[in-house]
């Protein structure tokens, strides 16, 4: 029996320095023939499928009825952690490409077909960018998102079987522009 990913990710969040080893493990891990945990990744649980490994590394609490200040604090905290994870991966692998989900989001809204893994990540992170690296013919991305206000904000490392698409946001990565 092949072990894919743990059903629930550790709490407290994965430290940025440990994310390099996690990402390398996900790149080497085979994809299972079927989804291992449906949509649990949107609530902060790891899942795998024929075209993906989604490993949440940090998440907020559910903020549906929280005041705006708590939303801002959670987003700022997770954005700082995202930048630290990107910096750790950049130190190990070099600069990332910045991926925008806008082209795929526009296709989804227009009713055009989009690969399931791209649709999932796009709907999750449509207002954010992802830092992306190609590793061993797979795509590794660090993405922050939230499906809707009834779910936590989740910072995730996603490994996909194929490139995400044509949404390159620019020649420089966000990690190079952050500061």
62 burial level (CB within 10 Å; 0-12, 13-18, 19+): middle
Q: For residue 86, give Cα distances in angstroms to 89, 100, 160, 178.
A: 5, 16, 17, 10
Q: Which residues contact 178 (CB under 8 A, 6 or more apart)?
A: 83, 86
CB 142 within 8 A of CB 128: no
Give the span between the Cα atoms of 140 and 143, in whole angstroms.
10
**CB atoms closer than 10 angstroms to residue 11:** 9
112 token code pair: 């055009």
88-102: burial string, b at 16+ Cβ within 10 Å, e else: bbbeeeeebbbbbbe
Ramachandran category for residue 165: left, alpha or beta (phi over 0 → left; psi -120 to 50 → alpha): left
> What pLDDT score was predicted for residue 25?
95
Give the span between the Cα atoms of 89 and 64, in whole angstroms.
32
52-59 and 129-135 strand pairing:
unpaired
Whole-structure pTM value? 0.83
pLDDT tens-digit readout, 33-90:
887 766 667 777 788 889 999 999 999 988 888 999 999 999 999 999 999 999 999 9
Q: For residue 65, give Cα distances in angstroms to 68, 69, 75, 149.
A: 9, 11, 15, 9
Mean pLDDT calculated for residue range 25-32: 94
In this structure, of 8-22, 54-68, 97-111, 125-139, the range with the lowest mean pLDDT score is 8-22
pLDDT tens-digit readout, 133-178:
999 999 999 999 988 888 899 999 999 998 887 665 544 433 333 3
């Amino acid at each position: 029996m092949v072990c894919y990913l743990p059903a629930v990710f550790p709490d407290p969040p994965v430290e940025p320095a440990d994310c390099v080893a996690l990402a390398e493990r996900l790149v080497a891990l085979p994809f299972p023939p079927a989804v291992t945990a449906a949509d649990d990744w949107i609530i902060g649980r790891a899942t795998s499928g024929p075209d993906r490994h989604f490993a949440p590394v940090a998440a907020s609490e559910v903020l549906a009825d929280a005041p705006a200040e708590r939303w801002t604090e959670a987003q700022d905290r997770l954005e700082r952690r995202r930048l630290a994870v990107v910096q750790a991966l950049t130190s190990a692998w070099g600069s990332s490409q910045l991926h925008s989900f806008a082209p795929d989001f526009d296709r989804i809204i227009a009713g055009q077909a989009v690969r399931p893994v791209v649709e999932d990540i796009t709907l999750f992170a449509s207002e954010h960018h992802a830092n992306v690296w190609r590793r061993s013919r797979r795509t590794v991305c660090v993405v922050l998102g939230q499906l809707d206000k009834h779910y936590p904000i989740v910072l995730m490392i996603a490994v996909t079987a194929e490139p995400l698409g044509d949404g390159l946001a620019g020649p420089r990565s966000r990690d190079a522009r952050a500061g």
